[in-house]
Chains A and B, each alone.
Chain A
Amino acid sequence: MESSANLAAMGHEVTLLEKSDQLGGHLLGWEKLFPTMRLGKDVVEFLDKGVKLANVNVLKNVDVIDARKNGKVFNVKLADGKSFESDAVIVATGYDVFDARKKEEYGYGIYDNVVTSAELEEMFLSGKPLVNAQGKTPKKIGIVHCVGSRDEKVGNVYCSKVCCVTAVKQSIEIKEKIHDAEVYCYYMDLRMFGMHFETLYKQAQEKHAVNFIRGRLSEACENMDGSILVKVEDTLAGRPMRMSVDMLVLMVGMVPSEGTKKIGAMLGMNFGPNGFFKCQDQHTMTTVSNVPGVFFAGCCMAPRTINNVFADARAAALMTANYLEGYEIEKRIVLN
């Protein structure tokens, strides 16, 4: 959305292809955003305004069945029979949420009181009181970091970047809704890399008394009453520990989306070792693909924060505009 708004603002004719019936992607599923707790829909509104202000041609419910480069022109075909020609393409196919069922030992899809961070966010968005599967207000809530991230057993060795601070954010939100709840985060490292993330983390400890337990869950199972028994090493105590929680939230990471795989294959784009798009240079050409005229932005290239995605989107728009003027950034490639 941001790339299209900027390119259109520069005077280019832009068509935005959206697979769902609404623009905004995953952002639509977030109530509040870290670290400021501003509403996700505000950011969507900003993007919407950009698209409308620059008169971007928007097509929704689109299924791309073919996209290929013929000479210097790209031909894109849709399932409904429509087809387009374009001089350049920006791919912004985003991410999919890690399928938590692959971590079977955590019991997602098996025990009713194990939910994902995305589902918790949906509960926040619904505005309804937070209850567990038995309809009761949970008093003890466990939050598991790095589910589907930093885990060779599920094939994802990378860090998903946003889950740590999301866990802190959601812990605070839980405490704001249920004042006497106890929240326990099970973490390996807390990666508070953003400017105000560390402050948010301290706020969670200081103001909301959120507990942080350093250790990765080995397994979770269900007690007779439906609560969840977790097993974890309390690595700071140097002892294995077991504890019951009324609800267990899994901080699911980002994986390359189906759309990324599909469009990338159609256009002949290179993929990196983790299945995200491979850029031409990790430092200097992050939004440039191996196919001249194809650029990308956002979580199709790596796990990203919203701030990162905006920077990517504008960078991709600029690279695209330059390409359309005949500027060959490939000539600047320095092999490393």
Chain B
Amino acid sequence: MKDFGYTLSNDRQLDFDKGDRRIAAYVKEHEPSFNVCFACGTCTATCSAGNFTEMNLRRMFTMVKRGYVSEIRKEIAQCMLCGKCSLACPRGVNTRNVIMKINQALELYPL
């Protein structure tokens, strides 16, 4: 086909209805404190991995809840499970365990 120099942009919208929320459901069941996150970003501010890589815990949690897990697979691998985020969380979310549950769920539901 003749190349006119135009390209199609991919849709950046999150389509909630198409999201796969099995992983969110697994985490909510096994670590219910996942529900009470109010997305303040304290975890992300204190995160050692986040200071040196693209990893953003707050956004990762949001993406899991929306069912867009494939986008965070690489990101979550940066976590060293140091648990600083759990110490810092003002809401009492066991963030470290949330990450472990996400990892478990990713093995249970390979995409």
- B-binding residues in A (CB < 8 A): 190, 202, 205-206, 209, 211-212, 214, 234, 236-244
Contacts and interface: CB of A to CB of B under 8 A. Distances in A.
A204 B32 CA distance: 13
Given A206-B32, A242-B16, A237 B63 contact: yes
Contact of B14 (A190, A234, A244): A234
A127 to B, nearest CB: 29
A242 B14 CA distance: 6
Contacts of B35: 205-206, 209
A243 B66 CA distance: 10
B74 interface: no
B37 to A, nearest CB: 8
A202 B65 CA distance: 17
Given A202-B36, A205-B36, A209-B28, A241 B62 contact: no
B109 interface: no
A228 to B, nearest CB: 12
A212 B12 CA distance: 21
A236 B59 contact: yes
A243 B13 CA distance: 10
Contacts of B65: 211
Q: Which 9 A-B pairs have the closest CB atoms?
A: A243-B16, A241-B14, A205-B36, A236-B62, A237-B62, A240-B13, A205-B35, A236-B39, A239-B14
Contacts, number: 50
B28 A241 contact: no
Q: Describe A's contact surface by its main secondary structure.
A: strand
9 contacts: A209-B28, A234-B66, A237-B14, A238-B59, A242-B13, A242-B14, A242-B15, A243-B16, A244-B16
B52 interface: no
Given A202-B91, A237-B68, 20 more contacts: A205-B35, A206-B33, A206-B35, A206-B36, A209-B28, A209-B35, A214-B39, A236-B39, A236-B62, A237-B59, A237-B63, A238-B59, A239-B12, A239-B14, A241-B13, A241-B15, A242-B13, A242-B14, A242-B16, A243-B15
Most B CB atoms within 10 A — which of A209, A241, A244?
Answer: A241
Given A206-B32, A212-B38, A240 B12 contact: yes
Nearest to B33: A206
A205 B65 CA distance: 13
Contacts of B58: 236
Nearest to A223: B17
Nearest to A208: B35
Nearest to A201: B38
Interface in B20-63: 28, 32-33, 35-36, 38-39, 58-59, 62-63
A243 B12 CA distance: 14
A237 B39 CA distance: 10
Contacts of A237: 14, 59, 62-63, 66, 68
Contacts of B28: 209
Contact of B66 (A202, A205, A212, A241): A241
Contacts of B12: 239-240
Contacts of B39: 214, 236
Contacts of B17: 242-244
Nearest to B65: A211
